[in-house]
Amino acid sequence: MAKRKKQTKQTTETKQTTQKKRKQAKKQAASPGFTPVVEKNDIIDLTIDDLNHEGMGVGKYQGYTLFVKHALPGESIKAKVLKTKKRFGYAKLLERYESSTARVTPLCPIFDQCGGCQLQHLQYEEQLRQKQRQVQSQLQRMAHLDLDKVSVHPTLGMEDPWRYRNKAQVPIGEHEGGLIGGFYRQGTHDIIDMNECLIQHEQNDSLVQQVKDTAEKLGITAYNENTHQGLLRHVVTKYGFKTDELMVVLITNGDQLPHQDELINALKAKLPQLKSIVQNVNTTRTNVIFGDVTRVLWGETYIYDYIGDIKFAISARSFYQVNPQQTEVLYAKALEYADLQGNETVIDAYCGIGTISLFLAQQAKRVLGVEVVPEAISDAKRNARLNHLENTDFAVGEAEKVIPWWQAQGVHADVIVVDPPRKGCDEALLQTITDMKPQKVVYVSCNPATLARDLKVLEEGGFETKEVQPVDMFPHTSHVECVSQIVLKDD
């Protein structure tokens, strides 16, 4: 009995010592001048507890955080340290001692090389749960929201989460004298050649392949970003899911396109759905895909598609949601949160080509959209005319400047809708919203971190977050879209 008590005491002391070391490691990790407990090339054992916003597994080694590509929560692994920073580092998965029960074999043969998808190795149902958890975590940690009061609903996913993208942007290169096209290896500009992408619609794959094959036969060269020589930089394809219409944009490092007629005729013969062939000229040394000059080589300036009952004209430069099926789900939820009765004035603060604005206009008295890109406003006005929606007005400018001007003209918004880029809303726009005090704000977000940051500002400005609905716009990637309903607090 005495021996057992001694062993129990030693076990307790061991646990206390381990816990003390972990606390010391965490304290050291937060202190200035801290040297990580691991170094580059160290081989360590690690338990994965979480996924980060990039879809990497998260584990802690003596309190120090390491991110591991293709590792999943619940897995015990052997890893090689690749890089260390003050508060976190990166490691490579070498071996799995214990695998997650949610792990599956990726369908894509180049999943390990391509950076386009991050979660094909995770069961789709678990992807949806992880995305909900990611949103919940950000709202708790950054916005300090009480999730007992703010509902973050289960992520709305797809019944068939494949072949959902209506747009491809493919860099073109050369390998052993032939043209290649695909996606960049993650973290590099090395092109991984591919014949099909399982999240692209098949029509996009066929069109890209035809451009590669035909351009190679005609001797059209690929652009080399190191030497700034060669012609064909990117192939951009767009497909209308409901109209079966195709557009291709050839982005070139020069005005002249050799064998232009032969290329056009070959593509037309192979792809009867093709309605538009466009050239965009980009002669600058840049990672930006499009240049300033765009010309139609053959066919129409626009192709068309529908989201719900709304018809959209899509040009070479138009921004249009890449997953039309889930866009309809997303916008339906935005309409539900706006709760329009037919007599409201609504402002769409990042209106783009009018996608959300036109949905709102079906149920609102008046919709005003503002967008900083002039071409997008031209498209928004065209789409309003196309759908005979006369209760819309669109203006070019910065929302934080245009909205106060509207207010000075006597406009008061009952509902403000925002759908900002990943960086979130401009601080001045958030101040404008709090000054105008609409009854409701509907926030559509593609980045839970900036959503949480902005919700905190709105909460401090007199608003209350009621509920948040994650929507899986990009299955098999780490990205998640959200719609949030925010209401003005009673005085």
> Which residue in the list 108, 117, 446, 482 is annotated as catalytic?
446
481, two tokens: 């879209």
Instruction: Sort residue 61 into left (φ over 0), alpha (ψ -120 to 50) or beta.
Output: beta
Number of H helices, E strands in the chain: 10, 22
Phi, psi of 148 (to 5 degrees): -75, -20
Cβ–Cβ < 8 Å for 222, 173: yes
CA-wise closest residue to 253 among 271, 274, 228: 228
How many residues does the structure list for the chain? 491
* Separation of CA 8 from chain center: 52
Is 117 among the residues known to form the active site? no
Q: Which tokens in the block code for residue 61?
A: 């080694």
Q: How is residue 112 annotated by DSSP? A: T
Q: How far apart are CA 366 and CA 357, in angstroms?
A: 10
Cα separation of 24 and 21, whole Å?
Answer: 5
303 bridge partner residues: 314
Q: 115 CB contacts (<8 Å, ≥6 apart)?
A: 183, 184, 185, 186, 187
CB 275 within 8 A of CB 246: yes
How many whole angstroms separate alpha carbon 220 and alpha carbon 263?
Answer: 10
Annotated catalytic residues are 446
